Amino acid sequence: MPEALAERLRQRAARNHRSLQRELMAIVEAAVEPGARAVPAPGTAARVAGVPVAVQESDGVYAVTAQEQAAGAVDDLLSELDTIVAGSRWGSAPLLTREQAHDRALAREFDFEARAAELADARRRQRHGGAA
């Protein structure tokens, strides 16, 4: 990911009081909502609330050719996200209230528990020859 884009994402996450993962998930969820607006083609101008917004795609990295689509090379977005977070404890994170989310001691406790569980899983896999 280009550093400038990553920085903008970090700033957006901070403005919304979210982690980078939560911000990315919010973006993806908004994009797949029924009735979500289609993203204009790269290099075109869009209007959001009456304000023109330039839309650009860096180097066409994410462009998908018609042949790739026809060949089924493009996987389902949700399955790709599942692959990315596979093996993590991301889906089992507790839902916190705003007060709990800002409680540093509680956050450290959750972090310690998650790290201990990940370490136990790694040791279990190591004992069983790497099998999940």
42 and 79 assigned to the same domain: yes
pLDDT category of residue 56 using cuts at 50, 70 and 90: very low
49 and 73 assigned to the same domain: yes
Higher pLDDT, 92 or 10: 10
Question: 118 lies in which domain range?
Answer: 89-132
Q: Are the CB atoms for 113 and 121 separated by under 8 Å?
A: no
23 and 54 assigned to the same domain: no
96 and 79 assigned to the same domain: no
132 and 113 assigned to the same domain: yes
> Tell me: the pLDDT tens digits for 8-24?
888 988 888 888 888 88
100 and 117 assigned to the same domain: yes
**Overall pTM > 0.85:** no
Q: Does residue 71 carry a pLDDT above 60? A: no
Residue 74: left (phi > 0), alpha (psi -120 to 50), or beta? beta
Average pLDDT over all residues of the chain: 73
Which range of 18-27, 49-58, 81-90 scores highest in mean pLDDT? It is 18-27
20-32 and 3-15 are packed helices; what angle lies between their axes, rounded to 10 degrees?
A: 90
97 and 121 assigned to the same domain: yes
